Amino acid sequence: MADLATPDARPNNTHFSSGPCSKRPGWSLDALSDAPLGRSHRAKVGKAKLKLAIDLTREILEVPADYRIGIVPASDTGAVEMALWSLLGARGVDMVAWESFGSGWVTDVVKQLKLPDVRKFEADYGKLPDLGALDFDRDVVFTWNGTTSGVRVPNADFIPADRQGLTICDATSAAFAQAMDFSKLDVVTFSWQKVLGGEGGHGVLILSPRAVARLESYAPAWPLPKIFRMTKGGKLIEGIFEGETINTPSMLCVEDYIDALNWAKSIGGLKALMARADANAKVIFDFVEKTPWIANLAEDPATRSNTSVCLKIVDPEVTALDEKAQAAFAKGLVTALEGQGVAHDIGAYRDAPSGLRIWAGATIETADMAALMPWLDWAFAAQKASLAKAAA
């Protein structure tokens, strides 16, 4: 590596992790100075902060006025589990998966809830299942943006407006970066640690009126843990969606989320956030287009994520290696970049095919993304040199 000339420019911000993601530009601890630390989240000041976070979420995401928004425990996972355990079982369900998190929801429904009428629609990494085969008279559970595969649904056109079942959408890497048609979505979940770069541990759960009607008319056959319960006496616990959280939230994390939302508002809201993510992803896509050793894991350009961009190494000498050696090559590439201090945490997800995963969400500056691209070539050349030396 010492013999290879390094690129002249370096990213100012080297944080390209896919979660928790990079903080917003200009962020510092001073942004948290107004957090009501040491105060109860049920005190007037605590409830006001939580309500502000909910109101800003509605404004920036353009959530319809009759949809409920709640802050819930355990990140996006907690929000998804609340929906699955509370809403499913009233009718058959179609489960859609093309990466690890979607596959996890399939496992929960089949092996934990043990629902009797489940259809699975699955695809390998890089592809989408046949969305046209879904039956929306049943409930449908899907991930909008596959964080570990870089494959997203291009839009909500596959969902009919006159559906009878509920649509439950894990949108954790899509919210604030991709246009989602809420009229087609009955449950939307995400974590603010993704596109807005917030701290981990909290999830957001958004419910349509149809989802609320299901909660108030259907009681699952299984017991629900306290942190999953959204109704009492057959009625929605409205307080959950007005800032009265089920369990104690971190007011420091809530303050950080409010700061990120205010930043989003200051730059132009949802359209500006999406434009930033699109610009960042385009830098990567343009690099891939002219670089023969790397390719997008997502095969169809229409389904490529603009946040969690997943890449595979397609150099013939590398692909000729066995799977373990290919993984070692990719890991070495990531290690080289970290060693130079130009990119952190860009290895592929542990369950995904070996390669790179570069976060391109709105908190990344496009100039930093552009500065990273020549370093990918440098790291690849360094790894190829090491490979040749080992073979000699």
pLDDT at residue 151 greater than cutoff 90: yes
| Entry pTM | 0.97
What percent of the chain clears pLDDT 90, i.e. is strictly above it? 97
- Please compute the mean of the pLDDT values over residues 379-392 and round it to a whole number: 91
Chain segment 162-211, per-residue pLDDT in tens: 999 999 999 999 999 999 999 999 999 999 999 999 999 999 999 999 99
Chain segment 324-337, per-residue pLDDT in tens: 999 999 999 999 99
Identify the structural domains of the chain with CATH numbers, from first to last. Answer: 29-265 (3.40.640.10), 269-391 (3.90.1150.10)
Mean pLDDT value across the chain: 97
- Please compute the mean of the pLDDT values over residues 237-257 and round it to a whole number: 97
pLDDT at residue 44 greater than cutoff 90: yes
Chain segment 8-37, per-residue pLDDT in tens: 999 999 999 999 999 999 999 999 999 999
**Predicted pLDDT at 254:** 98
Contact 236, 68 (CB under 8 A): yes
CA distance 262 to 60: 9
Please state the φ and ψ torsions of residue 32, each to the nearest 5 degrees.
-100, 10
Calculate the alpha carbon distances from 168 to 139, 140, 358 in Å. Answer: 8, 6, 27
Burial class of 250 by CB neighbour count within 10 A (0 to 12, 13 to 18, 19+): middle
